Structure 1
Amino acid sequence: MNNLIHHIPAQLDDILKSMPWFVPELGLSILFLIVFLADLIAGKKMAGLARTVSIIGMLVVLFTALQQLPLVPVGESHFVFNGMLLLHRTSVCFKLVIDALAILVLIYIPWDKALRAHFKGLGDLYSIIIASVLGLHLMLMAVNLLSIYLAVEMVSIASYLMVAYRSDTQTTTEAGMKYVLFGAVASAIMLYGISLLYGFSGTLDIFADSFIQNLIHVSPLSVSLALVLVMVGIGFKLSFVPMHFWVPDVYQGAATPVTAYLSTLPKIAGLGMLINFLTPFVFSTSWAAFDFRLLLSVVGVITLIVGNIAAIWQTNIKRLLAYSSIGHTGFALMALVTFSEQGISALLFYLAVYAIANIGALMLCSYYVNKIGAHTLDSYKGVGLRYPLPSVCFVMILISLAGLPVSAGFNGKLLVFSAVYDVYQHSPNVWLLALLITGAATTVIALFYYIKIPLYLFLKKNDHHADDLIVNHKYLLIFICVISAFLLLTGVFPQMLNFLQL
């Protein structure tokens, strides 16, 4: 006990020195308490107060994260809180993307008719999202096996609450239950893998010299098993094959703004966390027990094929976008397996434009549900002629998701292909070539299901039009137009996102 007491001053000094590097996360913690209290005090009498406070607070957090960019130049990093977290330029750029997307989701939430009409109100949902963003920040900085697990669980619990938030229908209740059960199993598997790695290495710090050195002396089969178990937990967040089975049902059953959150923010944070986790293995000259490039390349190829082909047969719009999201995960893995600065820069750009386009597509799902109660492709017949402006915006957003020229998505896919091809030229690898071929082929396949939506909107006729529902959708439509314009402008002027380059 006396020996531990002597370490307390040093630990406290390290905590105080770490605080300046932890400002955005401190801001999120304070914001969570403020939003929680605002909803507790105001309640339904001032329904918009929690939302206003959340958006303003997130803008402040985004500004503090932006101020960290000059503090961490390329190649520099700072360990904080006794090596539990690591701040570097990549993690800061990921945080900027996540904070901006969180603001979009917070703005979007009350524009969904079903969610707005919920008897519980929306105040609790805003506070849950703020808490989840804090967890996402921690995921991006975690470099200790304990902090990795705690950050993942923090985000998972918030996600469970969001999926089950609107439990007034059987579909939503089943989605929430399925997500919790599968998530708990994935979490338990990941924790078992972490315990094995700790037992093999004798340390929780993945950047410690002893971590890799001790793992080298363990049976490669045992270490590979532990790493695969950890990858199962990370794969659940990324929804790559075979950890994708929960995605279609949960995305369809959850409230549409929650689907927008699940399909973007945790996925981006998961990729950022995976970069941190892989770094000690990939850049160690003595590590040869497990080939991460081979594993992720195989997973990427299968994910690209399964996600894009399964999407072709979907008739529900949210399920179609769910399988599309799985396909985009495979494409993101293409950039990740380059293990290069160019690849990570391409990944950042790609994730940013994909996430904005995906949120825009789901906003349009809400718009048509609000307007005419449309959930399936059949209910979209002839709608484009009745509502030309949102339908044209839908086409622009789908063009970006498909990666066609003069769109932000095209530039994102071009950057990813360029990064993979550049690495392949310097060190030819059959799996990199397989990723390039599969990525090109599935991009063509994706056109078959993306083009179905404009086909039903403009070319299919419907003699039995659904009546307009009396819903105020003006601001939602304005925001959709802004997103569409942004995707077009970023396609023409990709330098608009230059701050994401490493």
Structure 2
Amino acid sequence: MHDLLPTIPEQLSKILNDVHFFVPELYLSALFILVLLADLFIGKNSEKYCRAIAMAGLVIVFFKDYEQYTLTDEAGGTVSLFSGMLLLYGKAVSFKVIIDLLTCLLLLYFAWDNKLSTHKKGLSDLYTIIIGSVLGLHLMTMATNLLSIYLAIEMVSIASYLMVAYRSENGFSAEAGLKYVLFGAASSAVLLYGISLLYGFTGTLDIWDPKFMVNLSGAGSAGVGLALSLVLVGIGFKLSFVPVHFWVPDVYEGAATPVTAYLSTVPKIAAFALLINFVNAFVAVVPHPDFDFRLALSIIGVITMIAGNFAAVAQQNVKRMLAYSSIGHTGFALMAVVTYTPQGLTSLIYYLAVYAVANIAALLLATYFTNQTGAEKVGEYKGLGFKYPIASVCFVIILISLTGLPVSAGFTGKLFVFSSVYVVYQQSHDVWLLILMITGAVVTVVSLFYYIKIPLNLFLRKSSVVFTPDYSDKKVIVLAVVLSLLLLLFGIFPDWLYKTL
């Protein structure tokens, strides 16, 4: 203890110097407290105020992200914060910008779900939980120390558990929340065990510390392989890749639809940033001799694409179908991760951004049709295309983007990913990269078989049910039109987004 006393002033000075690179996260912390206090002091009518405060705060955080990007660029492009606990660089800021914009969009959506908005507790608590989750997501994009990785994942996980089980009066939602907590707890234990093994082998939690790799190379290959596999399983739980995907269909179906939209997009984007941070430490200089990350992630990607897409074909519930398709999209995104190139990373961010917009829009329209007609299964969409023409046309455009057909943003995103993988394949002739590309092309065709079921029922099949359409919920239609146009514009003019990432 006495040996540490002389270093305390120096450590405090370093922390204070790092704080000005940490401003967006400080604003998020203040926003979390502000939304919480607004809920406590305003009372029953606090829902609208909490939502407005949360959205306004996220807009401010977005601008602070831009300032953070400028500071990082001036500091040389990469900044190590708080004694190596966090690593700030340009692409991490890009991930954070997308997370903040998508969360702002989702905050609009949460109040438009009839089943969620009629909750007896209101949505004020939910908005507080979301802001806390976003803070954890920001930390995930920068975490490079094993301790900060674990803490960031747990922050997001706890918030996710609360969101899934928010409609506790609904038995299905409560069951989904319980399953998520149990699987999440098991995943956290596996991750923590893997971290403890790595610490035992190396004597440090800093994966960028030179002695980390030196000591790890001296450990047995079986032990190193086990430890790294356990950590990948822990991160993979948030990414929902095979074999830790089994929680996704039940949890996504049981949660409120806006919560499903949140879980299937924003935490997944942050988890990919975290995976990249972790893997880069092992492949940036010299690939670790005892564990081939490209081989492991390629095998996971192939299996995940096949399992997710083929399982989605058999689904009739729209949310369950989109849950399985999100697993397939995870596998496809892993193609960009294994390139280990700046082009691959930019392609990944573009792909995740347009996928997230399309997936949120699809679930938004699923909510709309459920609110209007009670339709939750694909077969219940029969004949609704001509009764709700604008919503149905938007749904078709969104599904075209999710499939990856021209001229949508989804097609451009897949094209960028294929291009980045092909460039690396030409240089290395790695057979697994070829297998990834072939699998990606095949499952894109397979995805058409389940995505097309919705337009088929909307426009080509008639329903015997007679009802009077209700067009009062115009705000959902306006947002759906805007998101559909964005997917078309980013498909035709991809540089508008690609060059800013």
**TM-score over 0.5 for the alignment?**
yes
User: Offset at 1:473?
Assistant: 1.7
User: Offset at 1:326?
Assistant: 0.3
Give unmatched runs, 5+ long, in structure 1: none
Residue in structure 1 matched with residue 162 of structure 2 by the alignment: 161
User: Offset at 1:69?
Assistant: 2.2
Residue in structure 2 matched with residue 140 of structure 1 by the alignment: 141
User: Offset at 1:472?
Assistant: 4.9
The SS at the match of 2:20 is helix
The SS at the match of 1:79 is strand
Question: After the TM superposition, which of the residue ranges 274-283 and 391-400 deviates more from structure 2?
Answer: 274-283
Q: Give every structure 1 segment of 4 or more consecutive aligned residues whose post-TM-superposition deviation is greater than 6 Å.
A: none
Opposite residue 485 of structure 1, the aligned amino acid is L
Distance in 1 of aligned mates of 2:83 and 2:496 = 37
Task: Tell me, yes or no, if the aligned pair for 1:348 and 1:500 is still in contact at 8 Å.
Answer: no
Distance in 2 of aligned mates of 1:446 and 1:168 = 35
Do residues 374 (structure 1) and 375 (structure 2) align?
A: yes
Distance in 2 of aligned mates of 1:46 and 1:284 = 52
Distance in 2 of aligned mates of 1:484 and 1:168 = 34
Residue in structure 2 matched with residue 12 of structure 1 by the alignment: 12
Distance in 2 of aligned mates of 1:368 and 1:150 = 39
The SS at the match of 2:3 is helix
Task: Tell me, yes or no, if the aligned pair for 2:346 and 2:498 is still in contact at 8 Å.
Answer: no
Q: For 1:57-112, what per-residue CA distance to the aligned partner results, in whole angstroms no more than 9, with x for missing partners?
A: 00000111022223334972101111111100111110011111110111110000
Q: For 1:253-293, what per-residue CA distance to the aligned partner results, in whole angstroms no more than 9, with x for missing partners?
A: 00011001100011110110011101121123262110000
Against the structure 1 CA distance between its residues 286 and 268, is the aligned structure 2 distance closer, same or farther, given a 3 Å change threshold?
closer
Task: Tell me, yes or no, if the aligned pair for 1:368 and 1:374 is still in contact at 8 Å.
Answer: yes
The SS at the match of 2:59 is helix
Against the structure 1 CA distance between its residues 352 and 198, is the aligned structure 2 distance closer, same or farther, given a 3 Å change threshold?
same
Opposite residue 479 of structure 1, the aligned amino acid is L
Task: Tell me, yes or no, if the aligned pair for 1:220 and 1:289 is still in contact at 8 Å.
Answer: yes
Distance in 2 of aligned mates of 1:262 and 1:498 = 24
Q: Quick one: percent identity of the two aligned structures?
A: 59
Residue in structure 2 matched with residue 3 of structure 1 by the alignment: 3
Residue in structure 1 matched with residue 264 of structure 2 by the alignment: 263
Task: Tell me, yes or no, if the aligned pair for 2:46 and 2:124 is still in contact at 8 Å.
Answer: no
**Mapping for residues 238-253 of structure 1, pairs under 5 Å:** 238-253=239-254
The SS at the match of 1:314 is coil
User: Offset at 1:468?
Assistant: 5.1
Aligned length: 500
The SS at the match of 2:83 is coil
Residue in structure 1 matched with residue 297 of structure 2 by the alignment: 296
Two-structure CA RMSD over aligned residues (Å): 1.3
Question: After the TM superposition, which of the residue ranges 392-401 and 70-79 deviates more from structure 2?
Answer: 70-79
Question: After the TM superposition, which of the residue ranges 60-69 and 392-401 deviates more from structure 2?
Answer: 60-69
Question: Under a length normalisation based on structure 1, what TM-score does the superposition of the two structures give?
Answer: 0.98
**Mapping for residues 294-443 of structure 1, pairs under 5 Å:** 294-443=295-444
Distance in 2 of aligned mates of 1:411 and 1:453 = 23
Distance in 2 of aligned mates of 1:2 and 1:466 = 79
Task: Tell me, yes or no, if the aligned pair for 1:349 and 1:500 is still in contact at 8 Å.
Answer: no
Residue in structure 1 matched with residue 178 of structure 2 by the alignment: 177
The SS at the match of 1:3 is coil
Distance in 1 of aligned mates of 2:204 and 2:455 = 54
Against the structure 1 CA distance between its residues 173 and 200, is the aligned structure 2 distance closer, same or farther, given a 3 Å change threshold?
same
Do residues 28 (structure 1) and 28 (structure 2) align?
A: yes
User: Offset at 1:463?
Assistant: 1.1
Question: Under a length normalisation based on structure 2, what TM-score does the superposition of the two structures give?
Answer: 0.98
Distance in 2 of aligned mates of 1:222 and 1:311 = 36
Do residues 488 (structure 1) and 493 (structure 2) align?
A: no
Against the structure 1 CA distance between its residues 163 and 466, is the aligned structure 2 distance closer, same or farther, given a 3 Å change threshold?
farther
The SS at the match of 1:338 is coil
Task: Tell me, yes or no, if the aligned pair for 1:372 and 1:467 is still in contact at 8 Å.
Answer: no
Distance in 2 of aligned mates of 1:287 and 1:241 = 23
The SS at the match of 1:345 is helix
Opposite residue 324 of structure 1, the aligned amino acid is S
Residue in structure 1 matched with residue 44 of structure 2 by the alignment: 44
Distance in 1 of aligned mates of 2:177 and 2:286 = 44
Residue in structure 1 matched with residue 276 of structure 2 by the alignment: 275
The SS at the match of 1:21 is coil
The SS at the match of 1:7 is helix
Distance in 2 of aligned mates of 1:258 and 1:325 = 14
User: Offset at 1:216?
Assistant: 0.2
Residue in structure 1 matched with residue 63 of structure 2 by the alignment: 63
Distance in 2 of aligned mates of 1:500 and 1:226 = 37
The SS at the match of 1:36 is helix
Do residues 118 (structure 1) and 107 (structure 2) align?
A: no
Give unmatched runs, 5+ long, in structure 2: none
Residue in structure 2 matched with residue 455 of structure 1 by the alignment: 456
User: Offset at 1:5?
Assistant: 1.4
The SS at the match of 1:68 is helix
The SS at the match of 2:119 is coil
User: Offset at 1:47?
Assistant: 2.5
Opposite residue 393 of structure 1, the aligned amino acid is C
Against the structure 1 CA distance between its residues 187 and 47, is the aligned structure 2 distance closer, same or farther, given a 3 Å change threshold?
same
Opposite residue 131 of structure 2, the aligned amino acid is I
Distance in 2 of aligned mates of 1:174 and 1:455 = 33
User: Offset at 1:466?
Assistant: 5.0
Distance in 1 of aligned mates of 2:77 and 2:387 = 55
Task: Tell me, yes or no, if the aligned pair for 2:240 and 2:330 is still in contact at 8 Å.
Answer: yes
